[in-house]
Amino acid sequence: MKIIGPIAGIGSRLRPFTISKPKGFIRVAGKTVLDHILLKFSNTFERDTELILIVGYKKRHIIDHVKKKYANKFKLTFIKQKPRGYKDNVPYFWGLGEAVYLAHERFKKENYKSKEEDKRNGSLIFLSDMILLDEYSYLMYRYYESDIDGIITVMEIPKKDASSYGVVEINDNGTIKNLIEKPKEYVSNLAIAGIYAFSNTATNALFRHLKTYLDQRTEDSKEIYMTESLQDLVNDGYKIAAVKLKKGILDFGRPSEVLNGNRYLLEQQTIINGDSQNNNLKIERSFIKKPNYIGKNVSIINSLIGPYVSIGSKSVIENSILESCVIEEDVTLKNIITKNSIIGRNAIIENICKNNLIIGDKSIY
């Protein structure tokens, strides 16, 4: 099986943090979102599984980071998604549909002797701003042990929120009969949760349908999404099962979701780097309330930290009170009282008493 990760987009909903880094590089609970995802993959899939990343915005940042950390865990392939255009010198792209289609060159069309072999040579597609809470082994069991051609993860949502999601209608046996993108009228509370797995045959059929829509685009077309092509797969007769997630998924597409995700991950891991000597921590006249994460070479003086605070490496916190915050690397905070705030990398902030701060990288206040 090959893993496809579309990671070319700019993450506009995460501005200002994605001005200087890709959307999967927000740090929560001590790691980037992308690292949380890839570490789960490395614990589930065989070494040298091919990881195909579709890159675009900040591509050099992504390629260098992934090569450095995962070259010994995956067979790495990087494919560039060309910008559709630029707005204020920031690129924008043709969307998820084109990004996934660009991986087609890595999949051979073959007639396999068995359905199991067809599945083993298939694809798993993930999104770089979503962390699956269920184990991938659970999904792979459902994928391999059922008489299906693929799976799409879904999660139950409140009926009132269904119009904000892509949703699926299912048959009595759990296979999908319809996929609807943001329905105006209620049809289902099963929202698509962003993880897909398909046999090789179904993957190539998906590429074929995506190409049809890509070939029809004009300069005035909207982004190309996957929902229509997935419906085409179902209409072709492919059995695609809706797999309900037991634990759900963390979506880091918006700043508020970054804080919620950070809180959840800290609760699960109860992280605190308490080994001051090995991590070169300087903690004086301060109280640290768990759960939290404190990176290396951090200085905390005369402050109250936690709960639910992540502090990146080489940061300095003085005379401050922080709760439920994400503080990235190389940040200096002095005389700050705040809750539910995100402070970007290399920021220098002083003399503020305010909650819900959203401050980008390299800011000075």
Q: Domain ranges in the chain?
A: 2-253, 258-359
**Collapsed DSSP state (helix, strand, coil) of residue 104:** helix
Asked if residues 36 and 28 have their Cβ atoms less than 8 Å apart, the reply is yes
pLDDT score of 277 more than 60: no
In 147-220, beta strands by DSSP E: 150-156, 166-170, 176-181, 190-198
The pLDDT value given to residue 210: 96
Measured from the Cβ of residue 64, the count of other Cβ atoms closer than 10 Å reads: 10
The pLDDT value given to residue 121: 95
Please, which pLDDT band fits residue 271 given cuts at 50, 70 and 90? very low
Rounded Cα–Cα distance for residues 296 and 277 (Å)? 10
Report the pLDDT averaged over residues 264-284: 71
Contacts of 176 (CB under 8 A, 6+ apart): 152, 168, 169, 170, 234, 240, 241, 242
Report the pLDDT averaged over residues 39-66: 92
Please, which pLDDT band fits residue 219 given cuts at 50, 70 and 90? confident
The pLDDT value given to residue 84: 82
Percent of the chain scoring above 70 in pLDDT: 95
pLDDT score of 54 more than 80: yes
The pLDDT value given to residue 85: 82
Report the pLDDT averaged over residues 189-194: 91
Residue closest to 309 by CA, chosen among 272, 347, 281: 272
Taking only the tens place, the pLDDT of each residue in 304-337 is 998 999 999 999 999 999 999 999 999 999 999 9
Taking only the tens place, the pLDDT of each residue in 156-168 is 999 988 888 889 9
**Collapsed DSSP state (helix, strand, coil) of residue 91:** strand
Of 19-28, 126-135, 151-160, 208-217, the one with minimum mean pLDDT is 19-28
Please, which pLDDT band fits residue 151 given cuts at 50, 70 and 90? very high
2-253 has which CATH code?
3.90.550.10
pLDDT score of 278 more than 80: no
pLDDT score of 169 more than 90: yes
Q: Where is pLDDT greater, at 277 or 259?
A: 259
The pLDDT value given to residue 62: 93
Please, which pLDDT band fits residue 13 given cuts at 50, 70 and 90? low
Instruction: Specify the DSSP class assigned to residue 364.
Output: B
The residue whose two tokens read 């694809």 is 123
pLDDT score of 273 more than 60: no
Average pLDDT, the chain: 90
Contacts of 268 (CB under 8 A, 6+ apart): none
Report the pLDDT averaged over residues 274-297: 83
Q: Where is pLDDT greater, at 80 or 163?
A: 80
Residue closest to 206 by CA, chosen among 93, 120, 125, 138: 125
Per CATH, 2-253 and 258-359 having the same topology is answered: no
The pLDDT value given to residue 12: 64
> Which of 4-18, 78-92, 198-212 tops mean pLDDT?
198-212
Please, which pLDDT band fits residue 275 given cuts at 50, 70 and 90? very low
Report the pLDDT averaged over residues 22-36: 87
From the candidate CATH numbers 1.20.120, 2.40.40, 1.10.287, 2.160.10, the one assigned to the domain spanning 258-359: 2.160.10
- The C-alpha R_g of the chain, in whole angstroms, comes to 22
Instruction: Specify the DSSP class assigned to residue 26.
Output: -
The pLDDT value given to residue 163: 87
The pLDDT value given to residue 270: 46
